């Protein structure tokens, strides 16, 4: 299995401005690439909390960091973290989306390059699968999902073909879904025709965007003063949520009548523009990566 190459590793570590002894949550610990670097800097006096909703990842993390007494593990959606139990923290990292091992594990059903059961659950204990969405959602609902989460212009045509096919026989594999999409889109273009539809069904299966919207305010509230939150996103839908949320935090509160500033913001952006992944990066996902960091002032 190809292990996950951490994306924007140097940029992430320097953006977090880590110090020995700090308390850090890696909200998307995956296979621990970023976590290993974080741990080196915070050292034995630090505390590292590793969160992932994927049980396979948690199992690998326990193996990887088993010798460290200052590492804790939480199998959970990052939207459901109980900060009451953790207390205030210095730094938080969110490296969104799927990991390379998730894409590579043939039984997970994330990839149109591998024939597998249509699953796509990041959390294997969740009930809803991609197969349920593809076979049970109404045509309208499917078209909306494919349009909104895949930004796919031909969403209506794809949804209608999916419904036609499933009336004949249930769509249970990634290959079936990829073939349906491929057959109803014009050939050509740089990316596989099923890329956008697969992204959309994956986002819907895992409620990815809702989870980010829910998690960000709680994460910010849990920061100590001078605490930082770094988020790496991989597509415009994720990045838009992060960008808007950060913007709302750094804008001064104004009096509605006089327009005068009544409260200056308690946050600052570490970089005005997001840091971007490189085209020569080992991990192809890095090419579309954007990293944003915000700091709590007091």
Ligand X SMILES: C[S@@+](CC[C@H](N)C(=O)[O-])C[C@H]1O[C@@H](n2cnc3c(N)ncnc32)[C@H](O)[C@@H]1O
Residues between 125 and 144 that touch ligand X (CB under 6 A): none
122 belongs to the binding site for ligand X (CB under 6 A): yes
Nearer to ligand X, 31 or 246 (CB): 31
User: Minimum Å distance from CB 277 to ligand X?
Assistant: 12
241 belongs to the binding site for ligand X (CB under 6 A): no
Nearer to ligand X, 24 or 159 (CB): 24
Task: Give the HSE-up count for residue 243: Cα atoms under 13 Å, Cβ half-sphere.
Answer: 14
Region from 31-39, 136-144, 252-260, 274-282 binding ligand X, contact rule CB under 6 A: 31-39
230 belongs to the binding site for ligand X (CB under 6 A): no
**Residue 192 burial class via C-beta count within 10 angstroms: exposed 0-12, middle 13-18, buried 19 and up:** middle
* Terminal-residue alpha carbon distance, the chain: 44
108 belongs to the binding site for ligand X (CB under 6 A): no
Q: Return the structure tokens found at 86.
A: 């953790």
Number of residues that bind ligand X (CB under 6 A): 21
Task: Give the HSE-up count for residue 62: Cα atoms under 13 Å, Cβ half-sphere.
Answer: 10
38 belongs to the binding site for ligand X (CB under 6 A): no
Of 13, 16, 25, 30, which lies in the binding site for ligand X, with binding defined by CB under 6 A?
30
d(CA 290, CA 7): 10
Cβ contacts of residue 189 below 8 Å, gap of 6+? none
Residues between 75 and 104 that touch ligand X (CB under 6 A): 77-79, 95, 97, 99
Nearer to ligand X, 171 or 216 (CB): 216
d(CA 189, CA 194): 12
277 belongs to the binding site for ligand X (CB under 6 A): no
User: Minimum Å distance from CB 102 to ligand X?
Assistant: 6
Per-residue DSSP letter, 6: P
């Amino acid at each position: 299995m190809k292990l996950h190459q951490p994306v924007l590793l140097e940029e992430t570590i320097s953006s977090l401005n880590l110090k020995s002894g700090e308390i850090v949550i890696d909200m998307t610990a995956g296979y621990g690439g970023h976590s290993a670097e974080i741990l080196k800097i915070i050292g034995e006096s630090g505390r590292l909390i590793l969160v992932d909703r994927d049980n396979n990842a948690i199992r690998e993390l326990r193996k990887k960091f088993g010798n460290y007494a200052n590492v804790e593990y939480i199998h959970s959606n990052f939207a459901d973290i109980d900060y009451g139990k953790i207390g205030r923290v210095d730094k938080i990292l969110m490296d969104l989306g799927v990991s390379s091992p998730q894409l590579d594990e043939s039984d997970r059903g994330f990839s149109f390059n591998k024939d597998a059961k249509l699953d796509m659950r990041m959390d294997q204990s969740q009930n809803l699968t991609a197969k349920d969405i593809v076979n049970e959602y109404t045509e309208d609902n499917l078209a909306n999902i494919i349009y909104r989460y895949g930004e796919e212009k031909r969403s209506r045509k794809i949804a209608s073909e999916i419904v036609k096919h499933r009336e004949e026989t249930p769509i249970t594999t990634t290959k079936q879904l990829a073939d349906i999409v491929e057959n109803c889109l014009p050939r050509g273009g740089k990316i596989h025709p099923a890329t956008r539809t697969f992204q959309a069904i994956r986002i819907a299966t895992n409620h990815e965007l809702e989870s980010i919207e829910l998690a960000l305010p709680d994460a910010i509230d849990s920061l100590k003063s001078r605490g930082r939150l770094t988020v790496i996103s991989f597509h415009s839908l994720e990045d838009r949520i992060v960008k808007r949320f950060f913007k709302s935090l750094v804008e001064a509160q104004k009096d509605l009548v006089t327009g005068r500033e009544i409260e200056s913001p308690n946050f600052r952006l570490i970089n005005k523009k997001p840091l971007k992944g490189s085209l020569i990066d080992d991990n192809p996902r890095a090419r579309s990566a954007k990293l944003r960091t915000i700091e709590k002032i007091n």
